[in-house]
Amino acid sequence: MRRPDETDSEFLRTYDPDAYERPSVAVDVVLLSVRDGRMCTLLVRRKERPQAGRWALPGGFVGIQESLESAAQRVLRAKAAIEDNVFVEQLYTFGEPERDPRMRIISVAYVALVPFELQATAGSAEPDRSVSTVGIPWHGATGGAVELRDSDGRIMKTAFDHADIVGMAVKRIRGKLDYTPIGFQLLPETFTLRQLQRVHEVIQDQPVNKDSFRRRMLASGHLEATGERQRDVEHRPAELYRFIKRSAV
Amino acid sequence: MRRPDETDSEFLRTYDPDAYERPSVAVDVVLLSVRDGRMCTLLVRRKERPQAGRWALPGGFVGIQESLESAAQRVLRAKAAIEDNVFVEQLYTFGEPERDPRMRIISVAYVALVPFELQATAGSAEPDRSVSTVGIPWHGATGGAVELRDSDGRIMKTAFDHADIVGMAVKRIRGKLDYTPIGFQLLPETFTLRQLQRVHEVIQDQPVNKDSFRRRMLASGHLEATGERQRDVEHRPAELYRFIKRSAV
DNA sequence: GAAATAGTGTCTTTAAGACAGTATGTG
DNA sequence: CACATACTGTCTTAAAGACACTATTTC
């Protein structure tokens, strides 16, 4: 808690916080996963007007004494049953005056990355809530709105500017992949190099050279061999790796 | 404020725009330039409480019908006499509950890049406003608060979390420099390759290989030779280049 | 043994860095 | 002319891509 000095305290007593009309502030969370060679995200079917029946990102208003990140974590807990130990990063703030017809709502968007198993649990946790996962068709270019489709390939009508938000999330993750180790956030705790490669290929939507990918990953110092191997596969089982935090450089 | 047990519909049905206290939303602009081998930014001396006398980023509250980017442009016009044709990009949204002692203020920060000549004009446009430029000492690492010093090397006391915001801005620009042509935004319309190289060196705080820098820049397709040459230099004048928007790929 | 994928060693290609040498301006 | 910096060509080095080959599992 910042401690204003005496004169500041005096000033604060006379400050009129109601001089200007204020917008509402919300957070929306793009919960990304990779499944079957596609990216997917969690959407919630709106039951209320406006735009009832359309699909929206899980979100909520920011409490007056709540930090933005806390609000995002709360939304994840409440709407996706996902606890705090996942990758969450602020994405962008969407504030066009007409983006929500109700009133002026400024939305601070967050991206979260989870293994698909967790997202599948979230999607089926409360069936009355009509939660669903969708694939993101890839258009090569980065940024802008994306089309969201359900498991049968039908386009899902999205609410407000949420298709733009998802597009921005994909762009951000794609950009970070090259210079930050985040691919493992989309995998279980132990994984094979091949699985990690597939995650990279899906995010970038282009094939990755296997040999050089192995070399780069192993040389990065972020991976640690577990000594364990895959089980129940129909071929030679690959070594399982674990992500380790890079030691001081 | 926190009610994780509520379902979506309950939350929305019970949300009365006037029932909950709303935060104020502001924009703050980091106006970056490069001068004499250092990065610098525009600060304004606060005359109002709280934190009167401290140095703050130019900023202002967002109007209830004003977009965030418009607000940033308005702040640039009003406090730095800078018109719309400069690089402006949303940076990050700072929303810790106690970051401003007056009340809950969520600040959407923007970065703007301008040639130093423009910033110098802005800094002296309204002397009664105590505008000043400062260098940013570089600590090698990225992110976090930075120290801001005046032209005599004295540390300037900054208001609120504005030192963090400047640190974030430097980190962002540094990161973008490698894969986006933004260096020219910090130079006049025509410039030499050497000047562009110096800008890159200042931003990254490390020397750049001259030969490979020339090759990369000329191969990027972003530069166009003007046929003109430098004047009034004490050595062989270099060719002047101009930035061109990359044609379709 | 056949099939499938994991993992290794080496050659080629490409981009960056190093460096020598030439060109062109000022005084 | 000396001097300073712009510009060019070539060699070296490091990383990525290509590819042949071996290894280990299931069926």
Neighbours of B158 (CB within 10 A): 23
**CA pair distance B125, A38, nearest whole angstrom:** 54
Whether A237 and chain B come into contact, CB under 8 Å, resolves to no
Residue of A nearest to B90 (CA): A92
Percentage, residues of chain B above pLDDT 90: 56
Whether pLDDT at B107 is above 70: yes
What is the structure's pLDDT at A135? 72
Chain B CB contacts of A79 under 8 Å are: 8
Q: Within 7 Å: CB of A101 and strand C?
A: no
Q: For chain A, what's the residue count?
A: 249
Tens digit of pLDDT per residue, chain A (249 long)?
444 444 554 444 444 555 678 999 999 999 999 988 889 999 999 888 889 989 999 999 999 999 999 999 999 999 888 987 899 999 999 999 999 998 999 999 999 999 988 887 776 656 545 566 777 766 555 668 888 888 888 889 999 999 999 999 999 999 999 889 999 999 999 999 999 999 999 998 889 999 999 999 999 989 999 999 998 888 889 999 999 876 543
Whether A95 and chain B come into contact, CB under 8 Å, resolves to yes
Residue of B nearest to A11 (CA): B49
Whether pLDDT at B3 is above 50: no
What is the structure's pLDDT at A129? 59
Q: Which residues contact B243 (CB under 8 A, 6 or more apart)?
A: B181, B184, B222, B223, B224
Q: Which residues contact B138 (CB under 8 A, 6 or more apart)?
A: B39, B205
Spell out the alpha helix ranges (H) of A25-161.
Answer: 68-80, 116-125
Nucleotide nearest to B240 (CA to C1'): D6
Partner-chain contact A64 B104, CB within 8 Å: yes
Q: Within 7 Å: CB of B211 and strand C?
A: yes
Q: How far is CA B230 from CA A38, A146, B170, B214, B241, in A?
A: 53, 47, 30, 17, 10
Whether B96 and chain A come into contact, CB under 8 Å, resolves to yes
Helix (H, G, I), strand (E, B) or coil at B25: strand
> What DSSP string describes A160-209?
TTHHHHHHHHHHHHHHHHTTS--GGGGS-SEE-HHHHHHHHHHHHTS---
Residue of A nearest to B141 (CA): A249
Domain range list for chain B:
24-177, 183-243
Q: What pTM was estimated for this model as a whole?
A: 0.89
What is the structure's pLDDT at A6? 45
Structure confidence at residue B35 as a pLDDT band (50, 70, 90): confident
Strand partners, A40: A33, A135
**b/e string for A85-95 if b means 16 or more Cβ within 10 A?**
ebebebbbbbb
β-pairing, B223-229 with B239-243? antiparallel
- Which range among A50-59, A107-116, B117-126, B234-243 shows the weakest confidence by mean pLDDT? B117-126
What is the structure's pLDDT at B130? 57
Which comes out higher in pLDDT, residue B178 or A24?
A: A24
Chain B CB contacts of A110 under 8 Å are: none
Whether pLDDT at B154 is above 90: no
What is the structure's pLDDT at A117? 87
What is the structure's pLDDT at B248? 43
Q: Within 7 Å: CB of A16 and strand C?
A: no
DSSP B156: P
Structure confidence at residue B23 as a pLDDT band (50, 70, 90): very high
Q: How far is A56 from chain B (nearest CA, A)?
A: 11
Whether pLDDT at B199 is above 90: yes
Which comes out higher in pLDDT, residue B41 or A10?
A: B41
**pLDDT tens across A146-158, in order?**
888 888 888 899 9
What is the structure's pLDDT at B118? 87
Same CATH fold assignment for domains A24-177 and A183-243: no
Whether pLDDT at B85 is above 70: yes
What is the structure's pLDDT at B169? 94
Which tokens go with A8? 């500041």
Going by C-alpha positions, the residue among B117, B118, B111 that lies closest to residue B82 is: B118
CATH class of B183-243: mainly alpha
Per CATH, the homologous superfamily of domain B24-177 is Nucleoside Triphosphate Pyrophosphohydrolase (3.90.79.10)
* Candidate from A44, A48, A77 with C-beta closest to B4: A77
Give ∠ CA A18-A24-A29 in degrees, rounded to 5.
155
Percentage, residues of chain B above pLDDT 70: 84
